[in-house]
Amino acid sequence: MEWASSGPDCRSIVNHQAYELNEVLRGQHKRAVWHLHGDVNDAKTIVLTSSSYNRLYPGGEQETQWKAALEVFRSIIARKSLVFIGYGLGDIQIIEQLLDIAKLFDGVPGPHYVLATEEVKWKVIAKGLPVEVVWFKEKGEPLLELLRAMELIGSPFTSSATFTLDSTGPVADFNPQNPAFNVRFRPKGNQVKGRDDQLEAVRQQLTQGRRTAIGQTAAFHGVGGLGKTQLAVEYAYKFRDEYPGGVVWLEADSDIDAQLIELAVKSRWVSPQSEHKDKLEIALRRIRSSSDILLVFDNVEERAEIEPYLPETNADPHILLTSRDNHAGFTTVDLDLLTNEVAFELLIQEANRTPENESEEDAARKIVEALGGLPLAIELAGAFIDEYGISWSGYLNLLNQDLSQALPTGISSFTHHEAGLFRTLQV
């Protein structure tokens, strides 16, 4: 600050002083200290609490007289090179502005730099920002020496005896804007039977249905064994190209935070060396602020369990649930039992063979009736018949005698949701 503010021509400007900010943009002041987050000598200007952040940044009720400050800041990001000193870029609002400007101008603005000790270098890199890291050994004289060298050399920085430009260069390798696709199950494609109408209904709802406060929503609804998860998988694969930001799949009945931390690393949103809290922070910001993604919550029991992960009001993603229950804010697409004929076709397909004679065909149709038109049950029955080579009548006898042996845990479906199926069949 002493270096930046020295000289009689330096101006001190507080965040919302629109006229003075405009003078800076016009180049009237070569040197200025701009208190973007306020001046300690004027408590009204301090940006510290959540309500004060909402005055300055989008997402809340932004006050008119503060909008100029944000627009000036964004203009500076786009037109100038910034050097962050003594700041680890931990403010999520600053991060959003950097990422948004880089996206708008296809990464052209800058270059921007952040000064960091080597011990925190990876924390900065982990955030995946459009900045380059210039690291120094320790604070005090080494940092002052670096600043003096930068003042003499100017920008862009080049290697010298007084400071080192981080060898990793720009942090483009780790970028929270990288598209994601973490659907953990395989699609069945045209092997899915009798569900074309439901897939089309979900697509219609997500693209043309009534928008809710959290975006375009839909839910596959029904008892266990109807294939809700598999249909969500089919939708994700079929329409993945319609979502430039990718598809984020979260198991609502498992630790969602852990899933997001893993996703942040696999999608290269952050460096693997970063702390878990940083990975989670970036992942949460990514899924809650994006409008170009499909967000899938599988096996939701209570809306409260996914509430912390739903989008902010200024985002407009597509959200798809699978659930046994209806949930407020989500338009349900009910899944019915398969008709006997469609269920019979599915059983033949999964068993990989047709009945040899009329008696065996009759047994196959009775298997379908016994399993109640549940796609998951029929899929498992067909897999059992195919795996063990049992006759249709032999399997029917086994099914009538012992359900647990006829649908053993050793054989699983594409989505591994057999527990829900057994509860349904036992009812």
Positive or negative, the CA dihedral 363, 365, 369, 374 is: positive
Q: Per residue in 330-343, pLDDT tens?
A: 888 877 787 888 88
User: What confidence score (pLDDT) does residue 318 get?
Assistant: 94
Whether the per-residue pLDDT at 252 is higher than 50: the answer is yes
Residues 364, 379 within the same domain: yes
Is 385 in contact with 395 (CB distance < 8 Å)? yes
Whether the per-residue pLDDT at 259 is higher than 70: the answer is yes
User: What confidence score (pLDDT) does residue 283 get?
Assistant: 92
Among 198-212, 214-228, 340-354, 401-415, top mean pLDDT goes to: 340-354
Among 56-60, 92-96, 171-175, 375-379, top mean pLDDT goes to: 375-379
Mean pLDDT of 228-253: 92
Please say which residue of 283, 315, 334 terminates a domain: 334
Beta bridge partners of 133: 114
User: What confidence score (pLDDT) does residue 121 get?
Assistant: 62
Mean pLDDT of 372-384: 84
Residues 155, 218 within the same domain: no
Residues 8, 141 within the same domain: yes
Per-residue pLDDT band for 241 (boundaries 50, 70, 90) equals very high
Alpha-carbon gap, residue 72 to 92, rounded angstroms: 18
Position with higher pLDDT, 98 vs 1 = 98
Residues above pLDDT 90, as percent of the chain = 20
Domain that holds residue 315: 180-334
Per-residue pLDDT band for 167 (boundaries 50, 70, 90) equals very low
Per-residue pLDDT band for 372 (boundaries 50, 70, 90) equals confident
Per-residue pLDDT band for 419 (boundaries 50, 70, 90) equals very low
User: Is 417 among the domain residues?
Assistant: yes
| CATH code of residue 276 | 3.40.50.300
Among 53-62, 239-248, 263-272, 407-416, top mean pLDDT goes to: 239-248
Mean pLDDT of 33-51: 74
Residue 118 has which token pair? 């080597």
How distant is the alpha carbon of residue 324 from its chain centre?
Answer: 24
User: Is 348 among the domain residues?
Assistant: yes
User: What confidence score (pLDDT) does residue 123 get?
Assistant: 62
User: Is 398 among the domain residues?
Assistant: yes
Backbone angles phi, psi at 309, to 5 degrees: -110, 0
Domain count along the chain: 3
Please say which residue of 113, 141, 165 terminates a domain: 165
Whether the per-residue pLDDT at 403 is higher than 60: the answer is yes
Q: Per residue in 148-165, pLDDT tens?
A: 666 655 544 333 333 333
Residues 188, 297 within the same domain: yes
Among 31-40, 335-344, 416-425, top mean pLDDT goes to: 335-344
Whole-number average pLDDT of the chain:
76
3-state secondary structure of 288: helix
Per-residue pLDDT band for 124 (boundaries 50, 70, 90) equals low
Residues 236, 221 within the same domain: yes
CA dist list (Å): 422 to 349, 371, 383, 408: 22, 11, 16, 10
139-143, 183-187, 305-309: segment of lowest average pLDDT = 139-143
Residues 20, 129 within the same domain: yes
User: What confidence score (pLDDT) does residue 28 get?
Assistant: 61
Mean pLDDT of 256-278: 88
Residues 9, 145 within the same domain: yes
Mean pLDDT of 239-264: 94
Long-range contacts of 418-423 (CB under 8 A, 24+ apart): 418/376, 418/380, 419/224, 420/223, 420/224, 420/225, 420/299, 420/324, 421/224, 421/225, 421/374, 421/376, 421/377, 421/380, 422/224, 423/224
Whether the per-residue pLDDT at 171 is higher than 60: the answer is no
| CATH code of residue 352 | 1.10.8
